[in-house]
Amino acid sequence: MRLRIPAWLLALVVSMTTLADPPVVAIVIHGGAGKLDPKTLTEESAKARHAALAQSLRAGHAILQKGGSALDAVQAAIIVLEDSPLFNAGKGAVFTSAGRNELDASIMDGRTREAGAVGGVTIVKNPILAARAVMEKTPHVLLTNEGAEAFARDIKLPLVKPDYFRTDHRWRQLQEWKKKKAESGQTFLDDKHADYFGTVGCVALDAKGNLAAGTSTGGLTGKQFGRVGDSPIIGAGTYANNATAGISCTGHGEFFIRYAVAHDITAKMEYQKKTLAAAAREVVQQKLVKAKGRGGIIGIDAKGNIVMEFNPPAMHRGSIDKKGKLTTAIFK
């Protein structure tokens, strides 16, 4: 006996399938916020930066389109930026006052609230890989310096000689910083010398509704060797919670640590029921500005809404939103 399905029922099923919303995916990145004069940025340099941002976005978004995880997308996007000499992370990291490159990174899973981070590494080619390995292969959250490097060596992550991270323009920045310091007696914490903060970061939302965030940096030019900023500090420079948002920060790290910026934004969403945009605006444009802390954040909420909020003149940034539109920008 054949079961005959009425035509109207078939039509209803087809209609419901057609009307069903496709899975929402989105990705946002930053390449650092700070003081950058458009007049000093050549057309060639601007094109190169926009191209690198777009390459990073496409690397992460391709994973999301195939049903991959937000964690994998964040990692892929950040690796592109770490491998570029244009940004203050990985290959393009700045120098400490002692003339070393010391790198920090972190990553967080919004579904499980698990996280991993490394600080002060000097031979790990892609610190974001080490951060994720700390999350997935150890019971810890943060490993630093020689301990982090020994761990990376044990699990056979790609290692390089310290001079791999040396670039001429970053070395010149250090010499300029030393000259300014000698002339004025000020430190890197002073406003006149905190002209540009690097750091790269990414937040992604995958088709399963999971958020992830990651951040990687070389820190501040002229920083005291051994200094660790906000980038590897969960809740300060990186945070992700499926119930609220994923956040990655860039800026003057000491302020982001003291004000727990990444977590504060998500807390305002959770407890005060603020939107991501409203929470980010309050923290970045009011709290940080009042404290004289400069920088910015990128974020995605559980619905795929993207925010890129910053208070200095510039922040390298880009996104592919839930409609698939790719945009990159540097200045306000």
- Catalogue the active-site residues: 199
Judged by DSSP in three states, 193 sits in coil
Task: Give the length of the chain.
Answer: 332
Strands (E), the chain: 26-34, 103-109, 115-121, 142-144, 200-205, 211-217, 238-240, 245-251, 295-301, 306-310, 314-320, 326-331
Pairing mode, strands 295-301 and 306-310: antiparallel
**Two tokens at 209?**
């509704």
Angle, CA of 115, 121 and 125, to the nearest 5° = 90
Q: Would residue 260 be called left, alpha or beta, if left means φ above 0 and alpha means ψ between -120 and 50 degrees?
A: left
What is the Cα–Cα distance from 213 to 106, expressed in whole angstroms? 8
Q: Are 177 and 222 in contact (CB under 8 A)?
A: yes
Percent helix, strand and coil across the chain, each to the nearest 5: 40, 25, 40
**Two tokens at 222?**
């002229």
What is the Cα–Cα distance from 91 to 52, expressed in whole angstroms? 13
